[in-house]
Structure 1
Amino acid sequence: MAWYPGAKKMELQPESDSQPAIRPTQFIVHSIVAPWTPERTYEYWRDSTNLESHFGLGYDGSLGQFIGTETRADANAAANRRADGTGAVSLESASNLQASDPWTPEQVETLIKLGVWLHQKHGIPLRICRTADDPGFGYHRLFDAWNPSAHSCPGDARVKQFREVVFPGIVARATGKTTEEDDMPTADEIATAVLKKDGVIAVPGAPATNPTWTLSSVQTEILKRLDKVAATEAAQTAAITKLASLVGSGVDTATVVAAVQKAIADAVVRVSVDVTGADSKGV
């Protein structure tokens, strides 16, 4: 049995001795749908069910281990132990009662540290599992074979964190691209980690006809939107300058308003362009 030195050992019996050995090839994370400490999670596994996870993670980043990582735990359905002796290491994490909240920064840091240890100790490869049997890292709802009841565990917010922060953080820390004390991967590491296998990424606000772009296209779009913001600011400056030139010149209010409106329109029409190249009126 293998025990993680960063966790408090709270060994479940008789499961720890009676359940068969596994060769760990996967790490699967869960939300327990309760704001529990590792101690409370241990009590639940001990007193209320014949199921269990290897680890329990509190909101404050505290971690308990209930079964050695080379012994089967029963939180992942078909991934618990396969006919070839391989199996998954499982972790239940404190959450709200709807499992809708994100992991806290403390939870994220603990997940990254544990993920690095599992990679180093058991050789779990630094990739997100491609199939239910594929070695790597994942979350409960990733495959039906792990989640036959088809619930949303660990929740949308945590799936997003897993893909954008936790897993890239494990990779960065394990490969030495960040120091032990770094909490977050770099922007480039995050961008690389969330790219899909075909080299494209979903872009908020992208047209329905082209919802995914290459990373270089994303960078180009960011620059275009920044240019638009700068031009809008120039339009506002032009309007203010025009207004200032009229103040005290003896013209009436209507003339001032008309002049300001025209100055804004003249400046904005030059920058009212969307990502397709048409202006905001569809011209």
Structure 2
Amino acid sequence: MAWYPAARKMELQPESDSQPAIRPTQFILHSIAAPWTKERIFEYWRDSTNLESHFGQSYDGSIAQFIGTETRADANYLANRRPDGTGAVSIETASNLQHTDPWTPEQIEGLIRLGVWLHQHHGIPLRICRSADDPGYGYHRLHAAWSTGGTACPGDARVQQFRDVVFPGIVAAATGTTTAPSEDDMALTKEQDEKLTYLHWKIQRLYDNLGMLAWRRKADDGREMSQIVGAIDARVQALETTGLTDAQMNRIADLVADKLAHRLAE
């Protein structure tokens, strides 16, 4: 059981002692859709629901920890604890009722510091999760397997902040570098650009088909969806033949994963 030294310890019982151990491999950020303090978040987990996160954060950036990071918390659906014992660390952050507001500067600073500690203490790799099981950092709506019925959490403004400020800030603080690729790194040859345009069109058609299946909710959708997801994966794998750099591939994989999560949540 591990406790973040910079957080106020507010241990949830019996969950802290009764829930199984995990090996933390991911950090998933949430908005709680309420302008609550960390103390009020603790009270809600304790008194009103059988769900909980590892951490809660107030608007002023201060953080409380409710469960040790090597114990399962239940805010992330299939990422809570997997059959191999790995699981996600989660934080609920204060927001407006519609979780449409951005994180405050104080919240961003607190999230970056916590993200760095999780990397240093648990070895969570400094990348955005490329799939639901992939170790790294993410936000609740990034992958459909992290939510029981689809979610917009943590909201568009905070997703943008995560990609532009929070995650790069974690990397910068942990390593002294940034994750932003240079213009040269993202430059494409004419041949690469033509191939990417074609692959993008094919993947978009597959996304459209997936969205229609999700909308119809037919009994055999599960099998058809699996086939389409497999086809999308094959198209993404084809990108490797374009000679892209690792940074370019990671950026494309992030975009594909984000869009796929939205389609599956429709």
Tell me the TM-score normalized by structure 2.
Answer: 0.68
Aligned to 1:98: 98
Secondary structure of the 2:111 match is helix
Structure 2 residue identity aligned to 1:127: R
Question: Do the aligned partners of 1:99 and 1:155 also contact (CA within 8 Å) in 2?
Answer: yes
Contact 2:171 2:179 in 1 (8 A): no
Unaligned segments of structure 1, at least 5 residues:
178-188, 202-208, 210-283
Q: Which amino acid aligns with 1:70?
A: E
How many residues matched? 190
Q: Distance in 2 between matches of 1:51 and 1:153?
A: 16
SS in 2 for 1:192: coil
The structure in which a higher percent of residues are helix is 2
**For residues 96 and 84 of structure 1, do their structure 2 counterparts lie closer, same or farther at Cα, with a shift above 3 Å needed?**
same
**Equivalent pair of 1:165/1:190 in contact (CA under 8 Å):** no
CA distance in structure 2 between the aligned counterparts of 1:192 and 1:53, rounded to whole angstroms:
33
Unaligned residue ranges in structure 2 (runs of 5+): 189-196, 198-266
For residues 65 and 148 of structure 1, the distance between their equivalents in structure 2, rounded to whole angstroms, comes to 24
Give the Cα separation in 1 of the matches to 2:63 and 2:186: 36
Give the equivalent residue in structure 1 for 2:10: 10
* Counterpart residue number, 2:238: none
The residue that corresponds to 2:82 in the other structure is 82
Kept after mapping to 1: 8 A contact 2:141/2:150: yes
Task: Name the amino acid aligned to 1:199.
Answer: M
Larger Rg: 1
Task: Describe the SS at the equivalent of 2:106.
Answer: helix
Contact 1:164 1:190 in 2 (8 A): no
2:108 corresponding residue in structure 1: 108
Aligned counterparts, 1:130-279, within 5 A: 130-177=130-177, 189=178, 191-192=180-181, 199=186
Partner of 1:237: none
Q: Percent identity?
A: 77
Superposed CA offset, 1:169-220 (max 9, x none): 000000034xxxxxxxxxxx36429x9xx9379xxxxxxx9xxxxxxxxxxx
The one of the two structures with greater contact order (alpha-carbon pairs below 8 A, sep at least 6) is: 2
User: Residue deviations 1:51-94, cap 9 Å, x none?
Assistant: 00000000000100000000000000000000000000000000
In the other structure, the counterpart of 1:215 is none
Paired amino acid for 1:11: E
Superposed CA RMSD: 2.1
